[in-house]
């Protein structure tokens, strides 16, 4: 199974979408984990996955600041 991780934290719009399209376009990816820091990026990338025929599962992670 081809599995990839795409870290888009801190990247401005539309870079997360562009990078995601590049990975999807390469094909043979069965599982893609992408990391973003804001809700808008999460929603945009999730919609792209759904339109491309992928199942989307989301997980929020809390951040702790010292």
What pLDDT digit, counting tens, does each position of 10-65 carry? 888 889 889 988 988 887 778 888 888 888 888 888 898 888 888 888 776 655 55
pLDDT of residue 65: 53
Tokens of 45: 């990338």
Q: Band of the pLDDT at 7, cuts 50, 70, 90? A: very high
Cα 7 to Cα 19: distance, rounded to the nearest angstrom: 9
User: Residue ranges per domain, the chain?
Assistant: 3-51
Per CATH, the number for 3-51 is 3.30.110.40
pLDDT tops 60 at residue 1: no
pLDDT of residue 24: 82
pLDDT of residue 61: 64
Chain-centroid distance, C-alpha 17: 8
């Amino acid at each position: 199974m081809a599995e990839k991780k795409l870290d888009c934290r801190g990247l401005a719009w539309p870079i997360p979408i562009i990078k995601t399209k590049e990975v999807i376009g390469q094909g043979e990816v069965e599982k893609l984990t992408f990391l973003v820091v804001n809700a808008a990026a999460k929603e945009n990338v999730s919609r792209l996955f759904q339109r491309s025929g992928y199942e989307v599962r989301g997980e929020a992670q809390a951040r702790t600041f010292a």
